[in-house]
């Protein structure tokens, strides 16, 4: 596990970097991501190209130094991740005549590229963000794993192509603009995070999951090499599915245990992480180390359940109760995400990663089970919505929508009428969004509203349903979340928070073979008679205590509402109601004040939406104010905002979703 960074110059660059400048830039791009790889640093700097990496040593501790090259040093790679089928690929490549000089999974990538070209990326079983430099054709290839477990960002500036595991590496480039993308801000306000192929900075893009990018002398092409299956083709019985899924999961966990350093598991006490721990205990033959986080608030605390699972499997169990002073880490959280990210479950993920790092270097988690097997509450219709549809003619839906549009914000019943007034896709988007389109005119300043793309983020996000429109509705929701919420929220959160503590998080439920098998299963095996994750629970029943199987889902939530009404309520005054925040020109101060006052008075619970605004403000202080020399926190005038807004808003592909609330 590593962090990677680099650049390539085109022939059109007027003033190429000299050797000293190139070395210094790669050094700085790597140094800012030292947390991703504290064990080693390596670089290749040649004419017009620089590749760098920070290494967290997991496999082949002695000879896995990167960048790694082929036999004649014409192909080089820097790589962040793990390839779980590297031994099988290595055997095939050796038989084809390739010679290896390390025992690492990284070298397999170089020879696979030599043998199969860009098609090699589709043969990799694992998680990765990688960059391959081919000296012979002066071509750079960057690629990201299928589902988006590992990140990769890029930017093109004045004939130079920059890439990095984290945006902070790209921000070391001397001429990279930091203009804010207001469409990304709009998307963030809707869904807690920025778009799948964009970022909060206009000049910086994310490479989407399942994509590769080729750069050759200023010409850039992006290609999707993999996507989720469009059909459910499994024809076996339920008993067959349970047996086959058990085999696939066992193989995935077994492959994810490959390591030359100590490993353990995050354990929440839910089905997914408990199943992973059970398969680890069964496969490893030794005592598994498990790590759990809890809260003083009973509605959010799962320690008792995690403890029960740990006792059942005889693990070495460690746990921690997170107190309200967890917000003391807020600025550190912001710094590790590089852009606004408001999923508050980043807080416990930070702490469980910090605790685990004292004992292990690798952890396995249960992420992905909900999206692949139908685990979220929102996949089952709410009784009130079912009742409305049962007794109301279709025409009444239009009436409900019109009534909702006319009601003022804050009036009871408005949200329900807006929700039932939509079609299935609209209802789903409505259930996962935060600030809605009907609120944005009151929230956003006139300058921001004028600069926005005409297409609302909710509309752009809904396009992810189109490819799966012929499938059962539960499957459409799961596919949607697997393409949006999973990579852009869940996996982003786990990557940044685990790597902040130099710990590698692996996700066996998102192994290539598990995804392929789960995608083939029909929705009726995943959600049966209202029972979510039915087939996965049937597999879990062969391993777990009965009381764990069907207990209500809690999610990895944080009691923000309780904290913000207690000794953290001054956070709003200090942050959102400060003169710096109110004068920035992004939001209308009167709306922000009303939101804060309604929350603190107890009239409404706005904790999650206020958290969004707090995170954005703290991000702005770190990444905009300091960069522009205004670190004294005086804020920015409306004129300054207008100067930063895009003259023509780019078409930013939207994405994600959030846990059902």
Same domain, 140 and 156: yes
Neighbours of 629 (CB within 10 A): 7
Quote the CA–CA distance of 655 and 459 in Å, as a whole number. Answer: 10
What's the CA gap between 79 and 111, in Å, rounded? Answer: 14
E-strand ranges in 66-182 read 68-69, 75-83, 126-134, 139-144, 153-157, 160-164
| 172 lies in the same domain as 297 | no
Tell me, yes or no, whether 211 lies in a domain: no
Name residue 219's beta-bridge partners: 216
**Distance separating alpha carbons of residues 78 and 55, to the nearest angstrom:** 10
Token pair of 313 as six digits? 């499997």
| Structural domain contains residue 317 | yes
Within a domain: residue 205?
no
Non-local CB neighbours of 482 within 8 Å, separated by 6+ positions:
147, 228, 371, 372
* Catalytic residue chosen out of the listed positions 1, 2, 124, 429: 2
Residues 6 or more apart whose Cβ sits within 8 Å of residue 446:
none
Structural tokens at position 308? 């029960």
Q: How many domains is the chain built from? A: 4
- What are the distances in angstroms from CA 529 to CA 203, 525, 597? 48, 10, 43
Please say if 636 is a catalytic residue: no
Spatial separation of the C-alpha atoms in residues 42 and 26, rounded to whole Å: 10
Residues shown for the chain: 661
Question: Between the CA atoms of 532, 535, 541 and 543, what dihedral angle is there, to the nearest 10 degrees?
Answer: -120
Instruction: With residue 495 as reference, give the H or E element that holds it.
Output: helix 491-499
**Whether residues 633 and 612 fall in one domain:** yes
What is the Cα–Cα distance from 102 to 477, expressed in whole angstroms? Answer: 44
- One domain for residues 488 and 591: no
Locate the DSSP E strands across 225-288. 263-266
Q: Does any domain span residue 602? A: yes
Q: In a 3-state reduction of DSSP, which class is residue 127?
A: strand
The CATH number of whichever domain residue 356 belongs to comes to 3.40.50.620
**Token reading at 482:** 């697997």
Give the Cα separation of 511 and 249 in Å (integer).
9
CATH number at 134 reads: 3.60.20.10
Are 184 and 652 in contact by the 8 Å Cβ rule? The answer is: yes
659 part of a folded domain: no
Domain boundary among 176, 195, 227: 176
pLDDT in tens, 19-37: 999 999 999 999 999 999 8
In a domain, 144, yes or no: yes
Q: Same structural domain for residues 27 and 128? A: yes
pLDDT of residue 598: 87
Q: In the prediction, which pLDDT does 458 show?
A: 94
Nearest Cα to 436, choosing from 446, 448, 427? Answer: 427
Structure tokens at 149: 């477990």
- pLDDT tens digit sequence for 330-375: 999 999 999 999 999 999 999 999 999 999 999 999 999 999 999 9
pLDDT at 179: 93
**Contact yes or no for 232/471 (Cβ under 8 A):** yes
Strand ranges (DSSP E) for 450-580? 504-506
Do residues 414 and 404 touch, judged by C-beta distance below 8 A? yes
Residue 68 near residue 112, CB atoms below 8 Å: no
Tokens 């012929």 sit on residue: 470
Among 197, 166, 260, 186, CA closest to 444:
186
pLDDT given at position 183: 96
Alpha-carbon distance 90 to 468, whole Å? 36
The sign one gets for the Cα dihedral 597, 600, 606, 612 is: positive
Residue 290 domain-assigned? Answer: yes
Say whether both 359 and 386 belong to one domain. no
Query: Do 515 and 488 reside in the same domain of the chain?
Result: yes
Q: Residue 635 CA to chain centroid, in angstroms?
A: 30
Contact 151, 616 (CB under 8 A): no
Q: Are residues 398 and 418 in the same domain?
A: yes
C-alpha 410/C-alpha 418 separation (Å) is 13
Say yes or no: 367 and 493 in one domain.
Answer: yes
**249 touches 509 (CB < 8 A):** yes
Residue 554 lies in a domain: no
Dihedral angle over CA of 79, 84, 90, 91, nearest 10: 180
Residues 8 and 76 in one domain: yes
Among 503, 524, 549, which residue terminates a domain? Answer: 549
- Burial label for 643, CB within 10 Å (0-12, 13-18, 19+), is exposed
Q: Which two tokens stand for residue 334?
A: 């912001």
d(CA 28, CA 419): 49
Tell me the C-alpha distance between 640 and 632, whole Å: 16
Regions of the chain short of the pLDDT cut 50: 631-661
For residue 552, count other CB atoms closer than 10 A to its CB. 5
Within 10 angstroms of residue 637's Cβ, the number of other Cβ atoms is: 12
Nearest to 605 by CA among 574, 657, 564, 660: 564
Bridge partner list, 131: 78, 142
**Is residue 170 domain-shared with residue 143, that is, in the same domain?**
yes
Distance CA 639, CA 43 (A): 42
Q: Which domain holds residue 7?
A: 2-176
pLDDT of amino acid 59: 57
Q: Which of 475, 506, 541 represents a domain boundary (last residue)? A: 475
- Cβ burial, residue 441 (10 Å; 0-12/13-18/19+): exposed
Cα–Cα distance, 320 to 307 (Å, whole number): 12
* CB of 152 closer than 8 Å to CB of 121: no
Residue with tokens 């508050």: 344
> How far apart, in whole angstroms, are the C-alpha atoms of residue 506 and residue 82?
9
Q: How far is CA 18 from CA 46, 48, 114, 173, 222, in A?
A: 10, 9, 30, 14, 29
Same-domain pairing of 253 and 303: yes
The reply to whether omega before 67 is within 30° of 0 (cis) is yes
In the chain, helix, strand, coil percent, each to 5? 45, 15, 40
**Residue 350 burial by CB count (10 A; 0-12/13-18/19+): exposed, middle or buried?**
buried
The tokens describing 509, both together, are 């439920």
């Amino acid at each position: 596990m590593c962090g990677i960074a680099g650049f390539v110059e085109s022939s059109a660059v007027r003033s190429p970097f000299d050797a000293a400048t190139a070395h210094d830039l790669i050094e700085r791009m790597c140094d800012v991501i030292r947390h991703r790889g504290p064990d080693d640093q390596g670089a290749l700097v040649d004419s017009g190209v620089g590749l760098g990496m920070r290494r967290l040593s997991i496999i082949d501790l002695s000879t896995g130094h990167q960048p790694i090259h082929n036999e004649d040093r014409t192909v080089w790679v820097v790589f962040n991740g793990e390839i779980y089928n590297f031994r099988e690929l290595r055997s095939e490549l050796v038989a084809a005549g390739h010679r290896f000089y390390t025992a690492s999974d990284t070298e397999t990538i170089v020879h696979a590229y030599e043998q199969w070209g860009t098609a090699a990326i589709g043969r990799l079983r694992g998680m990765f963000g990688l960059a391959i430099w081919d000296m012979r054709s002066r071509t750079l290839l960057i690629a990201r794993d299928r589902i988006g477990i590992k990140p990769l960002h890029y930017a093109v500036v004045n004939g130079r192509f920059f890439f990095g595991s984290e945006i902070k590496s790209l921000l070391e480039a001397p001429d990279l603009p930091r203009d804010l993308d207001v469409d990304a801000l709009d998307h963030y306000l809707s869904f807690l995070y920025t778009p799948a192929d964009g970022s909060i900075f206009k000049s910086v893009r994310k490479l989407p999951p399942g994509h590769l990018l080729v750069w050759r002398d200023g010409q850039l092409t992006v290609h999707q090499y993999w996507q989720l299956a469009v059909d459910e083709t499994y024809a076996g019985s339920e008993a067959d599915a349970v047996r086959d899924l058990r085999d696939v999961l066992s193989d995935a966990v077994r492959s994810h245990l490959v390591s030359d350093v100590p490993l353990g598991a995050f354990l929440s006490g839910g089905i997914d992480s408990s199943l992973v721990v059970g398969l680890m205990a069964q496969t490893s033959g030794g005592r598994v180390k498990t790590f759990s986080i809890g809260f003083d608030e009973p509605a959010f605390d799962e320690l008792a359940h995690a403890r029960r699972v740990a006792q059942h499997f005889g693990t070495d169990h460690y746990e921690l109760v997170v107190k309200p002073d967890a917000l003391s880490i807020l600025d550190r959280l912001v710094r590790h995400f590089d852009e606004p990210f408001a999923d508050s479950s980043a807080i416990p993920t930070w702490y469980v990663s910090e605790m685990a790092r004292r004992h292990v270097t690798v952890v396995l988690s249960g992420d992905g089970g909900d999206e692949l097997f139908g685990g979220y509450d929102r996949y089952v219709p709410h009784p009130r919505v079912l009742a409305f549809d049962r007794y109301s003619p279709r025409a009444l839906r239009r009436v409900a929508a019109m009534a909702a549009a006319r009601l003022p914000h804050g009036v009871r019943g408005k949200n329900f009428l807006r929700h039932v007034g939509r079609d299935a896709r609209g209802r789903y988007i409505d259930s996962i969004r935060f600030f809605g389109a009907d609120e944005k005119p009151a929230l956003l300043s006139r300058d921001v509203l004028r600069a926005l793309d005409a297409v609302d983020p909710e509309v752009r996000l809904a396009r992810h349903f189109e490819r799966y429109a012929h499938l059962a509705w539960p499957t459409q929701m799961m596919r949607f979340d697997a393409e949006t919420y999973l990579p852009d929220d869940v996996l982003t959160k786990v990557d940044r928070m685990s790597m902040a503590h130099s710990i590698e998080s692996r996700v066996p439920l998102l192994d290539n073979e598990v995804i392929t098998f789960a995608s083939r299963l029909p929705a009726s095996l995943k959600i049966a008679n209202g029972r979510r994750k039915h087939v996965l629970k049937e597999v879990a029943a062969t391993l777990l205590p009965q009381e764990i199987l069907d207990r209500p889902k809690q999610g990895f939530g944080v009691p923000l509402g309780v904290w913000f009404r207690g000794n953290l309520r001054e956070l709003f005054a200090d942050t959102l109601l400060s003169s710096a925040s109110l004068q920035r020109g992004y939001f209308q101060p009167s709306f922000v004040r009303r939101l804060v006052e309604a929350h603190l008075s107890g009239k409404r619970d706005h904790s999650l939406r206020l958290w969004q605004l707090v995170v954005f403000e703290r991000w702005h202080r770190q990444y905009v104010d300091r960069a522009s020399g205004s670190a004294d926190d005086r804020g920015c005038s409306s004129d300054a905002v207008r100067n930063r807004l895009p003259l023509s808003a780019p078409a930013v592909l939207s994405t994600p979703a959030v846990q059902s609330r």
